Every structure is written in structure tokens, then in C-alpha cells.
């Protein structure tokens, strides 16, 4: 049985935990969910036979190392700045690692050692850029396979609030830390190709440059270009 260690049981972890438990029988998985507080963990796990709740203080080196050594793969759902200590332990004990955060400069510095040890350190490939880019390539490849020629391709990603829940002036609700929405733009300026021309938008103008997107059945939507080549 493959052993998965998931560290951090905040709200963002709930769906992932449910997904892994649903897959645990067919994929032969045992999921250990580690958190500083077990109250929320126990509610999610609900005594599932392929799960273990583990009380873990991420700053306690002995506890952290013991948990990581006992796993085949480690998923860190901690705040981004706490991934590094987990990643370094994964390097030491040769464990593959997945995080839900963008690649920081500190994580990049671990790439060579991870590659030499044949380890996978997979960082954020969720909706954007992950699903967005993969679905885009699926469409592009299908057009090319049919002999089509690409003249223009523009991709938008994001989530819309259900009308019955839309009760704020922004018409947008945060399902993650609002601070991280702003920080996500600090990864650098937006760089993209538009009608064959290179476009560059510096960070301080990212949230000012918007355009209107028309979707049938919905009001006009404001969208922001933050894509990076």
C-alpha cells in the first residue's frame, strides 16, 4: 500500500482529502493527514479505514522528519513560506513532493538536487496555470490534428459566483487567502503575444488593465491579463 502524507488540513485541503480517500481502495493508498489540530482532521477523515490522523507541529524537526520518513509521497498544503523545510527533508530522505503553491526562488534552488536524486517536486498546477494550459493545448492539438491553422487563440481562466450567492459589488468571491490574489501578481510582469506582437504589462499596472468579455447569458465581465510566457 502506497503511503501519502498530507501536511496541513485547512479549508483548501478538504476536497483533496476526500478525493484521495475515494481513490484509496482502487489505487491502494493509505492517507495520513497531519496538522497541529486534529479536530478538523477527524471530522474530514470520519474514521475512514485507509486514513490516519496525525498531530504534527511543523516546527518540531523530530516530528516532521518522522512523518516524512514514513511516507512514499508528501503533499504540503501549508502556507507557501513553510514548504521549504518540508522540501529539504524530502530531499534528504528521497521522497517525492507536491505543493499547492507557485514555485518560489528557494524552491527553484532545490531543483538540481531533486533531479539528481530522480525525485519529483511538483508545485502549483491547479486551475491557473495547470488546467487552463492543459485544456488550451487539448483544443489547439485537436485543431492541428484536423489540419486546421491557428490564427488567434486567447484563453481565459477563473471562476464565476453562482447568481444566488452573488451579493457583493465585486461580483467575485475569494475561495483562498485574498492576500495571495495580490501576491500572485507579484511573480512578475505579464508577458504575452497579441496578434503577433509582444506585450508587456509591469506589475504596478496589472490590476488597472482590464477588458470586457461577453458571454452569452451573462452580464459583461471584466477580465485582467496576467499571463506570463
According to the model, what pLDDT value does residue 159 have?
Answer: 67
Of the residues 22, 35, 89, 128, which is catalytic?
128
Distances (CA, A) of 89 to 84, 124, 201: 9, 19, 38
The domain defined by 2-122 folds into: Rossmann fold (3.40.50)
In 3D space, the residue among 176, 153, 197, 211 whose CA is nearest the CA of residue 13 turns out to be 176
Q: Please tell me if the domain spanning 2-122 has the same topology as the one spanning 127-224.
A: no
Cα dihedral sign for 112, 188, 201, 169?
positive
The torsion angles phi and psi of 127, rounded to 5 degrees, stand at -60, -55
According to the model, what pLDDT value does residue 229 have?
Answer: 41
d(CA 100, CA 103): 9
According to the model, what pLDDT value does residue 36 have?
Answer: 93
pLDDT tens figures, 19-66: 999 999 999 999 999 999 998 899 999 999 999 999 999 999 999 999
Query: CB neighbours of 189 closer than 8 A, spacing ≥ 6?
Result: 200, 201, 202, 203, 206, 228
Low-confidence ranges of the chain (pLDDT < 50): 228-229
> Does 72 participate in catalysis according to the annotation?
no
According to the model, what pLDDT value does residue 98 have?
Answer: 94
- The CATH number of 127-224 is 3.30.360.10
Within 24-120, where are the H helices?
Answer: 38-45, 61-69, 83-92, 105-108, 111-116
Looking at residue 228, the DSSP 8-state letter turns out to be: B
Q: What residue segments make up the domains of the chain, in order of their start?
A: 2-122, 127-224
Amino acid at each position: 500500500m502506497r503511503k501519502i502524507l498530507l501536511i496541513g488540513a485547512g479549508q483548501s485541503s478538504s476536497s483533496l482529502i476526500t478525493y484521495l480517500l475515494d481513490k484509496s481502495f482502487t489505487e491502494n493508498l493509505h492517507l495520513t493527514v497531519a496538522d497541529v489540530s486534529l479536530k478538523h482532521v477527524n471530522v474530514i477523515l470520519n474514521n475512514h479505514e485507509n486514513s490516519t490522523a496525525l498531530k504534527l507541529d511543523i516546527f518540531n524537526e523530530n516530528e516532521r522528519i518522522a512523518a516524512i520518513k514514513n511516507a512514499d509521497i508528501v503533499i504540503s498544503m501549508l502556507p507557501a513560506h513553510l514548504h521549504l523545510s518540508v522540501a529539504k527533508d524530502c530531499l534528504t530522505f528521497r521522497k517525492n513532493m507536491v505543493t499547492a503553491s507557485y514555485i518560489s526562488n528557494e524552491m527553484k534552488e532545490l531543483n538540481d538536487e531533486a533531479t539528481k536524486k530522480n525525485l519529483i517536486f511538483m508545485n502549483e498546477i491547479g486551475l491557473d496555470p495547470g488546467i487552463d494550459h492543459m485544456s488550451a493545448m487539448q483544443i489547439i492539438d485537436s485543431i492541428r490534428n484536423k489540419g486546421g491553422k491557428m490564427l488567434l487563440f486567447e484563453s481565459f481562466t477563473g471562476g464565476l459566483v453562482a447568481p444566488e450567492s452573488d451579493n457583493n459589488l465585486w461580483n467575485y468571491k475569494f475561495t483562498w487567502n485574498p492576500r495571495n490574489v495580490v501576491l500572485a501578481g507579484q511573480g512578475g510582469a505579464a508577458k504575452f503575444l497579441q496578434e503577433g506582437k509582444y506585450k508587456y504589462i509591469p506589475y504596478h499596472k496589472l490590476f488597472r488593465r482590464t477588458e470586457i468579455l461577453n458571454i452569452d447569458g451573462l452580464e459583461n465581465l471584466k477580465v485582467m491579463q496576467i499571463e506570463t510566457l
